Amino acid sequence: MSPLHASILIAGGLLAGIVNTLAGGGSLLTVPLLVLLGLPGIIANGTNRVGVAIQNGVATWGFHREGVPGIRAAVPVLIPVALGSLIGAFAISQVSSELFERLFGAVMLILLVPTLRKARPSSASIADPQIHSKLGALLLFFAIGLYGGAFQAGVGILLVFTLSYAGYDLVRANSIKVVVVLATTLFSAPVFIAAGQVAWLEALVLGIGFAAGGALGARIAVRGGERVIRPVLAIAVVALAARMFGLY
């Protein structure tokens, strides 16, 4: 790997890590970036998971350090999300790189509809809202895990909107989201590793940027609050829409 490619990966990971922590959709940058640097789509998808795991682990610690821990509130949804993630990762790891890239584009287009429909998450701040273990909620988070295990990109946006509508303010929603995405990634990543779909040098270099982005993103989220998170969330949705229409 050349110094230029390493610098590009670190810079891309840094930006994606901040966006992932504040909203979601950072993998819309890093997966195409890995493909641009020469990795097949399915390898890029697996490689990206290592950096995402590092970023969300650091961000989880960052939110805890800033006094907004999300682990306890994330516990009720971890099982359905993790199970969905494992199934989604196994399914997508069985397809060819060409088919993966087509599926990725199709799923991103489908994801655009609910994203635009929920473009104004609630600003209500509830001290300690609860996500009830009803069948509908379990199926919803299972579906989010299924998507995250297969495609990763955009899963943070889905979680932020879901948690916001459950009554959490955007800072708390993000603190919970990074825990859930960490669990999702830890369950899905071994599937890609076992399938030989991780380029470790690229993954670790990208992970440096992701780690810095996760730490910085958690600090910005807590100290900047919703006035900072909302614009980033809006930009992430617009970027997702642009990706859907093939503008980049």
How many independent structural domains does the chain possess? 1
Q: What is the pLDDT of residue 118?
A: 45
- Residue that the structure tokens 């503008």 belong to: 247
Q: Please tell me the least confidently modeled range out of 67-71, 72-76, 105-109, 168-172.
A: 105-109
Among the residue ranges 3-7, 42-46, 90-94, 167-171, the one predicted with the least confidence is: 90-94
**Amino acid in position 69:** P
222's tokens: 């807590």
What CA–CA distance (Å, rounded) separates 39 from 112? 26
Statement: residue 15 has pLDDT above 90: yes
Which domain, by its residues, includes 27?
3-244
Instruction: Give pLDDT tens digits for 155-180.
Output: 788 788 778 777 788 899 899 999 98
Q: Contact, 163 vs 173, CB < 8 A?
A: yes
Q: What is the pLDDT of residues 78-122, one digit of tens each?
A: 888 888 888 887 877 776 656 665 665 566 556 545 544 544 444
Q: How far is CA 198 from CA 13, 20, 112, 151, 185, in A?
A: 16, 21, 28, 15, 13
Q: What is the mean pLDDT of residues 208-227?
A: 93
CA distances from 235 to 24, 169, 232, 242 (A): 10, 19, 5, 10
